[in-house]
Chains A and B, each alone.
Chain A
């Protein structure tokens, strides 16, 4: 008769992480979701069920802003996927070239913007692109393309794309580093074996390296997705909480901020704000689930 001993040490060792994570992540998350189910009516907090979400999705005033923000968010994400990640992969491929000189210098230079604060990046780019003090009009003038200059951040058609590209500039170092690390981990023997079979240069990249770094690309995509749908800082630093011009740069983060904390004469509404935060959480959750169950499980992995 041997009783199973309760293995207390597991609980003890897990406790610190579980407690800290619960206190700073899980509890606030669920409390926010709970807050979304209430509303303030005549100074009293009243339970209203899903009414806030119904307002958010179906009341014309709210729904228009919500879908506008969501659409802008998707565009923000698409620009990152189409520009940031391919450039990141290309840079990593170039950097991992064995005969490239000053590779460490380039690597640091490209990575440095990533560690800058959003506020600095937003402010610096606002100055660079400023039609009054900026160097962008001067540079374009010097190459005879002054006519191409426009006050991009102030034009409804260009502002969001401009901000997305600024964000790409800032964060292109991250996919570059991750892919670079993945490329370095590919054993020489495989490439040499390919060489013997006549696969060299560009085709070595497409046929050998790219399939091997696909899982890393997948991870980068999901990081980009989560980062973009949580984005707020850059837009707020560059365009303020009203995300002008005419809400063309309004993304879910700024919409949530404006609603939750209020803006100028608009009083904050924590309950509607929480509803938006809840919607953001759901969107990110769905996106991550699609990736995890739809893509990652089907991805072919190679044992190196």
Chain B
């Protein structure tokens, strides 16, 4: 009896399993945005699945700091998901060159993006595009409006005003003037140096001149931002040396600090946590009326794992990710991640509107270390983290830090030699 039922049972399960597979394809998305898990699960994925029956999507993020390492290991082992969230520039370019990301140049929806938007996910000669651009993030400062009203200061536009606001908060004493720590290092570089820097190196002009080897990191335009962030030290909280990134976020959202050097990606998190009104101002310029430059960094895109067995379904998803429907969903679900598509997206969030309005007033650029310059050893981006943290702590002078970075860059980057 048993002998006969067992093969039957096995055959039945096999049958059920195959028929299920024929019905539904499940796509897995690799991402570092574990903060967005709920948004994907509750808004983006249901919207996609409703219009595309037969395709199921699973969003499986890992911790941001581990993402690149984990993804590389998974891709090499062949266990990575079908869709890969792409970091900008060389990290993804490396994946493409190693055959892990598929070429998406022939995807219909890719024409919905400008060439600037696509530049972060193209080969150097722009012949192949391997990720669908999703969003950029803009740097600036988020401030506590209640605190500003209480102490009676106005939003600063110039560097002098900026420091007099910080001084006012320091003298008042009821707020930490600025919420930032150096423990995690990247805050110092990303929210410090790369935030205010474009005003000094004139955005794209300086960035491209550095890549071309016409400017050096020891030039005034690249050292001055370090001198500026070195002045921040006295406005940071006690023990800022051991203050981590989550600490800074909490200090600000608990209303204990007045100004937070930010990236626009903080908006949705801060909206949920802070019970005071927040505003944003752009990096201060030297003199009133100077052209302002902002870091509008192409930050996130999505690509196709070349080894994916569900390439057809994955391409369907990617095409959908290039539509206006997705752009609008994404930009509104995640205020602070600004769509890179050419569509005109309506955003509801006032803070996000404030950030995105700067695109009209200022020249946009991207972070200086991301394109090409972090290809070699020593890695310029990692060194910039270290240097920025050291400069803020006062452990290294701005000039020494710049000379060290320049030395490292010269050691492998030919146009700088």
Contact = CB atoms under 8 A, between A and B. Distances in A.
Contacts of A131: 237-240, 242-243
Interface stretch (A19-27, A108-116, A261-269, A290-298): A261-269
B183 A61 contact: no
B408 interface: yes
A242 B385 contact: yes
Interface string B355-382: 0000000000000011000100111011
A154 interface: yes
Contacts of A126: 244
Interface in A252-302: 257, 261-268
Contacts of B114: none
B242 A151 contact: yes
Contact of B382 (A132, A151, A242): A242
Interface in B27-70: 65, 68-69
Interface in B56-101: 65, 68-69, 72-73, 87, 89-91, 94, 97-98
Contact of A240 (B184, B237, B370, B390): B184
A246 B237 CA distance: 20
A155 B385 CA distance: 16
A267 B389 contact: no
Contact of B240 (A151, A242, A246, A257): A151
A242 B237 CA distance: 23
A132 B237 contact: yes
Interface in A48-101: 61-62
Contact of B69 (A132, A152, A153, A262): A262
A167 to B, nearest CB: 18
A132 B239 contact: yes
B370 A265 contact: yes
B175 to A, nearest CB: 14
Contact of A244 (B69, B72, B389): B389
A262 B239 contact: no
A240 B244 CA distance: 11
Interface string B152-193: 000000000000000000000000000001111110000000
A303 interface: no
B316 interface: no
A279 B411 CA distance: 25
A154 B379 contact: no
Contacts of B393: 245
Contact of B65 (A61, A62, A154, A241): A241
A132 B247 contact: yes
B8 interface: no
A154 B186 contact: no
Contact of A246 (B69, B250, B395): B395
A149 to B, nearest CB: 8
Interface centre among B185, B395, B408 (most CB of A within 10 A): B185
Interface residues of B, number: 45
Contact of A132 (B94, B185, B251, B379): B251
A171 interface: no
Given A130-B247, A131-B242, A267 B94 contact: yes
B353 interface: no
Contact of B98 (A43, A246, A264, A265): A43
B390 to A, nearest CB: 6
Contacts of B182: 154, 244-245
**Which of A62, A244, A246, A266: most chain B Cβ within 10 A?**
A266
Interface residues of A, number: 33
A129 B72 contact: no
A30 interface: no
Task: Output the residue of A133, A264, A265 with the most chain B CB within 10 A.
Answer: A265
Contact of A151 (B98, B239, B395): B239
Interface in A141-161: 150-156
Contact of A242 (B89, B369, B377, B386): B386
Interface in A225-252: 239-242, 244-247
A263 B183 contact: no
Given A261-B73, A265-B91, A265-B374, A61 B241 contact: no
Nearest to B88: A265
Contact of A154 (B68, B241, B381, B385): B241
A154 B243 contact: yes
Contacts of B408: 61
Contacts of B72: 261-262, 267-268
A266 B383 CA distance: 10
Contacts of B378: 61
A143 to B, nearest CB: 19
B381 A264 contact: yes
Given A261-B72, A263-B68, A242 B185 contact: yes
Contact of B186 (A132, A257, A264): A264
Contact of A245 (B186, B250, B389): B389
Nearest to A159: B242
Residue of A43, A130, A244 with most partner-chain B CB within 10 A = A244
Given A132-B251, A263-B69, A245 B241 contact: yes
Contacts of A241: 65
Given A132-B251, A265-B381, 10 more contacts: A131-B240, A131-B242, A154-B183, A242-B382, A246-B389, A264-B68, A265-B90, A265-B369, A265-B382, A266-B374
List the 3 closest pairs (A to B, CB-CB), nearest first: A131-B239, A154-B241, A154-B242
28 contacts: A61-B408, A129-B242, A130-B243, A131-B238, A132-B237, A132-B243, A132-B251, A133-B250, A153-B242, A154-B239, A154-B242, A156-B395, A239-B183, A242-B386, A244-B182, A244-B185, A245-B241, A246-B386, A262-B72, A263-B382, A265-B374, A265-B381, A265-B382, A266-B382, A267-B72, A267-B90, A267-B94, A268-B69
